[in-house]
C-alpha cells in the first residue's frame, strides 16, 4: 500500500486530493494546524476513526513553520509521496503578512525538502510542489506556458517563486523526484469564502434569499483562467506517477473577467444584472428576475458595488494558461466547464442560504460573516 503525506489537507485541494488517494487505495497522512475551533470541515466526511484497525486516513498536528515537527512527521510516516499544498494562500492577505507568507510558503517548502534529504528519503520519496500562475504576475507572454518568464506581483507570489526554484534545485542537485504543478485558479464549493469566486456565489445566494443586501468587490476587470479543483488534483497525482519528474502548467485555456463571473452566477439565480457607472462608482443593479430562486430581491435593487479596499497594491490583471504539455504528455483534460463549475458553486451556496433563512424564520440567530 502506497503512503502519501499531504500538507494543507484541511484546505480545498487537500480535501479533494485526500479523497482521490483514498479511493486509489493509498494510506493517507495529513498535516493539520492546531486551531481554537474545529478546522476539519472539508475532510470530516472522509474521517476514519484512528482506533479502527484498518484506518487508512491519519491526521498529524503540525505547521510548515516548524522544522522539528516536519522532520518528526516525515521520519514516522516515511511517505512514498509528499504533496506540499499547505500555504498562506491569499494574495491580498500576503500584502498584510509578507514575512509570515515568506516563512510558510517559501521556507516551509525548503524545510520539507531538507527533511526528505536529511532522512535519506531522496531516492524513495516523490515530492509535489503547489506552484501557481501567480508566478507569471505581470505577464510576459500569452498564453502562459512552462517556459514563460516569471514576474511575481505580490509577497505571496515572490514566496512561491522561491518554493518553485528550490524544488527545481533539489531535483537537479540530489536527484529527488520533485515536480512543480503550475496551477491556474481552481475553484469549487469548498473554495475559501474570501476568494473572489466563492465570495460571489455565497454573496449572491445570500442576497437572493434576503439575508444580505449588497456584495462589495474590488477589480471587476481582472481576467482569470478558472478550472475545477476536483479536476486539478488528478494532475497533482499524475505528475508523481511518471518516469521522469517535470513541471506542468494546469489550466483550462479559457479566460473570463470577474464581472462575467458575477453575471454567470447571478443568471444561475435567475437574476439579470445591468452595470452602471465606472471605476470605483461602478455597480450592478438587478435588471430582471426570472423564476423564483431569488425571492429576496426586487428589480432596480443594487446588488454589487465596487469597494477600493479590495484593490491590491500591485494587481495581476490577466492570466491565461496553455495546458498543452499536460494534454500531450499525460493525456490530461479539464472535465468541468466554467458554466458547470459556477452552477455547482451557486447550487451549494443557495442551499446553505435557504437553510439559514429557514433557521432565521424560526427565531434562530444566524450570523453571516461578510468579507
Ligand atoms: P487553501 O487556502 O484552501 O488551503 C491551504 C491549506 O494550507 C489549509 O489546509 C491551511 O490550513 C494550510 N496552511 C496554512 N498555513 C499553514 C501553515 N503555516 N502550516 C501548515 N499548513 C498551513 O488553499 P488551496 O487548497 O486552494 O490551495 C492549495 C495550494 O495550492 C496552496 O499552496 C495554494 O497556494 C496553491 N495554489 C492554489 C490555487 C488555487 O486556485 N486554489 C492555484 C495555484 C496554487 P487551515 O485549514 O488550518 O487554514
Ligand atoms: P487570486 O484569487 O488572487 O487569483 O489567487 P482571488 O480569487 O483572491 O482573486 C482573483 C481576482 O479577483 C479580483 N477581485 C477580488 N478578489 C478577492 N479575493 N476579493 C474581492 O472582493 C475581489 N474583487 C475583485 C482580484 O483582485 C484578483 O484579480 C488565487 C489563490 O488561490 C492563490 O493561492 C493561487 O495561487 C492563485 O489563485 C492562482
Say if ligand 2 is within 6 A of residue 222 CB.
yes
What is the average pLDDT across 147-170? 99
Say if ligand 2 is within 6 A of residue 260 CB.
no
Q: Are strands 283-289 and 271-276 parallel, antiparallel or unpaired?
A: antiparallel
Give the pLDDT of residue 17: 98
- Nearest atom in ligand 2 to the alpha carbon of residue 183 is 38
- Nearest atom in ligand 2 to the alpha carbon of residue 184 is 38
- Nearest atom in ligand 2 to the alpha carbon of residue 220 is 24
Which listed ligand is nearest to 181 at the C-alpha?
Answer: 1
CA 242 to ligand 1 centroid distance, Å = 25
Are the C-beta atoms of residues 273 and 231 closer than 8 Å to each other? no
What is the average pLDDT across 340-367? 94
**Per annotation, catalytic residue among 19, 27, 122, 134:** 134
Count Cα atoms within 13 angstroms, Cβ side, for 329: 18
Look at ligand 1, atom 34, and give the residue with the nearest C-alpha.
89
| Averaged confidence pLDDT in the chain | 97
Superfamily of domain 196-223+257-317+337-361, CATH level 4: UDP-galactose 4-epimerase, domain 1 (3.90.25.10)
Look at ligand 2, atom 11, and give the residue with the nearest C-alpha.
222
Say if ligand 2 is within 6 A of residue 10 CB.
no
Count Cα atoms within 13 angstroms, Cβ side, for 16: 19
pLDDT in tens, 247-300: 999 999 999 999 999 999 999 999 999 999 999 999 999 999 999 999 999 999
DSSP codes, 245-289: ---EEE--S--EEHHHHHHHHHHHTTEEEEEES-GGG-EEEEEEE
Flag whether the ipTM exceeds 0.95.
yes
Give the pLDDT of residue 126: 98
Look at ligand 2, atom 28, and give the residue with the nearest C-alpha.
222
Give the pLDDT of residue 277: 96
- What is the rounded CA–CA span in Å between residue 214 and residue 306? 10
Domain segments of the chain: what residues?
A: 3-183, 196-223+257-317+337-361
Give the pLDDT of residue 312: 98
pLDDT band at 368 (very low <50, low <70, confident <90, very high): confident
- What is the rounded CA–CA span in Å between residue 81 and residue 61? 19
CA 106 to ligand 2 centroid distance, Å = 20
pLDDT in tens, 48-89: 888 888 899 999 999 999 999 999 999 999 999 999 999 999
Give the pLDDT of residue 298: 96
Given a cut of 80, is residue 91 above it in pLDDT? Answer: yes
CA 168 to ligand 1 centroid distance, Å = 21
The CATH number corresponding to 3-183 among 1.10.10.10, 3.40.47.10, 1.10.10.60, 3.40.50.720 equals: 3.40.50.720
Pocket-forming residues, ligand 1, beta carbon under 6 Å: 7-8, 10-14, 31, 33, 35, 39, 63-65, 85-89, 104, 130, 132, 183, 185-186, 192
CA 195 to ligand 2 centroid distance, Å = 5
Count Cα atoms within 13 angstroms, Cβ side, for 70: 24
| 333 a catalytic residue | no
- Which residues have C-beta within 8 Å of that of residue 329, sequence separation ≥ 6? 242, 246, 248
| 156 a catalytic residue | yes
Give the pLDDT of residue 51: 85
Could you tell me which of 254, 252, 256 has the C-alpha nearest to residue 327?
Answer: 252
Look at ligand 2, atom 15, and give the residue with the nearest C-alpha.
196
| 132 a catalytic residue | yes
C-alpha cell of residue 9: 489537507
How far, rounded to the nearest angstrom, does the alpha carbon of residue 36 sit from its chain's CA centroid? 23
pLDDT in tens, 9-39: 999 999 999 999 999 999 999 999 999 999 9
- What is the rounded CA–CA span in Å between residue 322 and residue 338? 16
> Which of 14, 91, 161, 341 most suits a substitution to test ligand 2, by most atoms within 8 Å of the C-beta?
91
- Which residues have C-beta within 8 Å of that of residue 62, sequence separation ≥ 6? 7, 31, 32, 33, 69, 70, 73
What is the average pLDDT across 191-201? 98
- Whether the upstream peptide bond of residue 143 has omega within 30° of 0, thus cis, is yes
CA 280 to ligand 1 centroid distance, Å = 30
CA 128 to ligand 1 centroid distance, Å = 14
Environment class of residue 93 by beta-carbon count within 10 Å: exposed (0-12), middle (13-18) or buried (19+)? middle
Amino acid at each position: 500500500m502506497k503512503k502519501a503525506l499531504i500538507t494543507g489537507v484541511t484546505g480545498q485541494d487537500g480535501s479533494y486530493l485526500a479523497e482521490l488517494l483514498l479511493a486509489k487505495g493509498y494510506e493517507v497522512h495529513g498535516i493539520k494546524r492546531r486551531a481554537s475551533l474545529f478546522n476539519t470541515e472539508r475532510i470530516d466526511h472522509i474521517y476514519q476513526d484512528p482506533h479502527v484497525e484498518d484506518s487508512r486516513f491519519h491526521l498529524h498536528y503540525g505547521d510548515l513553520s516548524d522544522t522539528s515537527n516536519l522532520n518528526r512527521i516525515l521520519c514516522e510516516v516515511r511517505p512514498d509521496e509528499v504533496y506540499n499544498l499547505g500555504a498562506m494562500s491569499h494574495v491580498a492577505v500576503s500584502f498584510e503578512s509578507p514575512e509570515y507568507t515568506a516563512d510558510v510558503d517559501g521556507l516551509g517548502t525548503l524545510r520539507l525538502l531538507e527533511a526528505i534529504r536529511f532522512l535519506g528519503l531522496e531516492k524513495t520519496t516523490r515530492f509535489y510542489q503547489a506552484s501557481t500562475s501567480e508566478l507569471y504576475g505581470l505577464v510576459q507572454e500569452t498564453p502562459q506556458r512552462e517556459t514563460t518568464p516569471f514576474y511575481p506581483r505580490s509577497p505571496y507570489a515572490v514566496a512561491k517563486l522561491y518554493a518553485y526554484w528550490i524544488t527545481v534545485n533539489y531535483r537537479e542537485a540530489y536527484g529527488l523526484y520533485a515536480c512543480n504543478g503550475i496551477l491556474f485558479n481552481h475553484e469549487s464549493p469548498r473554495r475559501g469564502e474570501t476568494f473572489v469566486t466563492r465570495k460571489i456565489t455565497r454573496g449572491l445566494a445570500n442576497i437572493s434569499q434576503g439575508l444580505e443586501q449588497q456584495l462589495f468587490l474590488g477589480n471587476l476587470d481582472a481576467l482569470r483562467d478558472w478550472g475545477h479543483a476536483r479536476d486539478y488534483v488528478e494532475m497533482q497525482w499524475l505528475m508523481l506517477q511518471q518516469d521522469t519528474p517535470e513541471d506542468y502548467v494546469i489550466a483550462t485555456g479559457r479566460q473570463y473577467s470577474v464581472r462575467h463571473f458575477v453575471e454567470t452566477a447571478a443568471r444561475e439565480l435567475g437574476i439579470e444584472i445591468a452595470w452602471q457607472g465606472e471605476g470605483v462608482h461602478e455597480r450592478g443593479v438587478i435588471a430582471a428576475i426570472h423564476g423564483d430562486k431569488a425571492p429576496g430581491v426586487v428589480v432596480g435593487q443594487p446588488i454589487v458595488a465596487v469597494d477600493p479596499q479590495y484593490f491590491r497594491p500591485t494587481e495581476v490583471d490577466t492570466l491565461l494558461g496553455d495546458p498543452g504539455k499536460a494534454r500531450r504528455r499525460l493525456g490530461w483534460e479539464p472535465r468541468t466547464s466554467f458554466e458547470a463549475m459556477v452552477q455547482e458553486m451557486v447550487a451549494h451556496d443557495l442551499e446553505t442560504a435557504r437553510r439559514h433563512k429557514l433557521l432565521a424564520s424560526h427565531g434562530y440567530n444566524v450570523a453571516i460573516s461578510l468579507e
